[in-house]
Amino acid sequence: HDTDRHYHLTDEWWVVLEGEFEWRLDDKVVRAGKSDVVYLPRGTVHSIVCTSAEPGIRLACGARDMEHVYV
């Protein structure tokens, strides 16, 4: 499942548990696979796409009740 472009008012990071993902930012693409950690500081506009043939699982870590601001 792809996400729409958005940002957060707090920092966010993820741990990829299964599969592969792309974090698509305004000026670059961050690719991550199993056991990789991705960190984005607050205000970074991004979308996330699972790019592996198998389903991907990612653990998102951030603030409690973290709001998504869609652009």
- pLDDT at residue 1 greater than cutoff 90: no
pLDDT digits (tens, 9 = 90+) for 3-55: 899 999 999 999 999 999 999 999 999 999 999 999 999 999 999 999 999 99
- Three-class DSSP category at 16: strand
CB 59 within 8 A of CB 5: no
- Three-class DSSP category at 28: coil
pLDDT, residue 65, reads 85
| Distance of alpha carbon 36 from alpha carbon 20, whole angstroms | 9
| Distance of alpha carbon 26 from alpha carbon 40, whole angstroms | 12
Of the two residues 62 and 34, the one the predictor is more confident about is: 34
| Distance of alpha carbon 53 from alpha carbon 12, whole angstroms | 25
